[in-house]
Amino acid sequence: MNRHGSSQTRRVVAAPDKFRGTATASGVVDAVEAAALEAGWSTVKKPLADGGEGLLEALGGSNRKSMVTGPLGDPVTAAWRLTGSLAVIEMAKASGLELIGGKDGNDPLSASTAGTGELVAEAVYAGARRIVVGVGGSATTDGGLGAIRAMEPLSRFGRIELEVACDVRLGFVDAATRFGPQKGATPAEVKLLERRLMRLAQVYEEQFGIDVSNLRFAGAAGGLAGGLAAIGAALRPGFELVAEEVELADAIADSDLVVTGEGLLDDQSMDGKVVGGVVAMAAEVGVPVLVVVGAVAEGEHAPAGLDGVEVVSLSARFGAEEAMTRACSLVSEVVSDAMARL
């Protein structure tokens, strides 16, 4: 019997984020499905993202590619999606830090979001009337200026619904201090980037009438979110947007178990991120949750909000090396164990 009192096959919802550096969200979903098949369960596959890398995958994967300007000016081929009048763009595909080999290959003062703006313009040209831009994983701290310039003339966006899926709640100017060093900026460069963002916030207010300086989420992707907000975009919590698009709440309500997870569980995991969002949704309808993570941040216990939820760290159970090299097969093993107890 399942939890609804019928003899139908029990159902698991696989709703993880990526395990950064070891497994994509889709890979983890497939691992859950493998365990479910062995146990005679059915699987509802919902790979998720919180607005950063992985958004494109979570919303159906790419079906378009465009050549655009990379973060340091070299051309890059960026994947994106167009379904009917909806376009999904992941800024990391056009302006991401990984495109230039990480912070050691970056020039944080000149890195530009121009390529992301070119993708947005391409989407409009292709017929999109609603555009979702996922921000995260950026090489840039240009406040979105490069993107806005690439999108000109801005008049063509008057009837376009532009939404930005944000993965951090960060002030516009704070983007320099918080993430500048991760993008290769020295302390002196961080100060310069701060001054640039302060001035740019003034320019945006003068030009567009929007004060982004204290706007929640505006600092996401080095201020790209704020720049797009200045020209009329709606800034939204990434997890909430994705959950709505994939109808996650309905799937969870009709399930017997939810499996979620991410690479590193830390004190941010319950604050607008995938794990916290999934756990909260499941709690509302009384569905048990299994949280499988690559590791728990050093020196931390499971964050508040996970009381009564089973949390399995692959590193703690199987060792760090195994967790890095065999993440998906270990997820299958952990899920199989959990299903055997239900």
Segment 64-98, tens digit of pLDDT? 999 999 999 999 999 999 999 999 999 999 999 99
CATH number at residue 98: 3.90.1510.10
Inside any domain, residue 183: yes
Q: Where are the beta strands (DSSP E) in 92-242?
A: 130-134, 161-166, 234-237
Encode pLDDT of 92-115 as tens digits. Answer: 999 999 999 999 999 999 999 999
Summarize the confidence of residues 158-166 as an average pLDDT.
Answer: 95
Instruction: Look at the block and give the residue holding tokens 């889709």.
Output: 26
For residue 37, the enclosing domain spans 11-48+247-340
Q: How confident is the model at residue 167 (pLDDT cuts 50, 70, 90)?
A: confident
pTM for the whole thing?
0.91
Q: Where are the beta strands (DSSP E) in 126-272?
A: 130-134, 161-166, 234-237, 257-265
Helix (H) or strand (E) holding 333: helix 327-340
Inside any domain, residue 100: yes
On the question of pLDDT at 182 being above 60, the answer is yes
Inside any domain, residue 4: no
Domain boundary pick from 190, 216, 240: 240
Inside any domain, residue 3: no
Average pLDDT value over all residues in the chain? 94
On the question of pLDDT at 321 being above 90, the answer is yes
Q: Where are the beta strands (DSSP E) in 202-297?
A: 234-237, 257-265, 289-296
Domain boundary pick from 225, 240, 255: 240
pLDDT at 305: 72
pLDDT at 269: 86
End-to-end, the C-alpha distance of the chain in Å comes to 11
Q: How confident is the model at residue 307 (pLDDT cuts 50, 70, 90)?
A: confident
pLDDT at 8: 79
pLDDT at 299: 65
Kindly state whether residues 228 and 255 are assigned to the same domain.
no
Summarize the confidence of residues 189-213 as an average pLDDT.
Answer: 97
pLDDT at 271: 82
pLDDT at 233: 97
Q: How confident is the model at residue 6 (pLDDT cuts 50, 70, 90)?
A: low
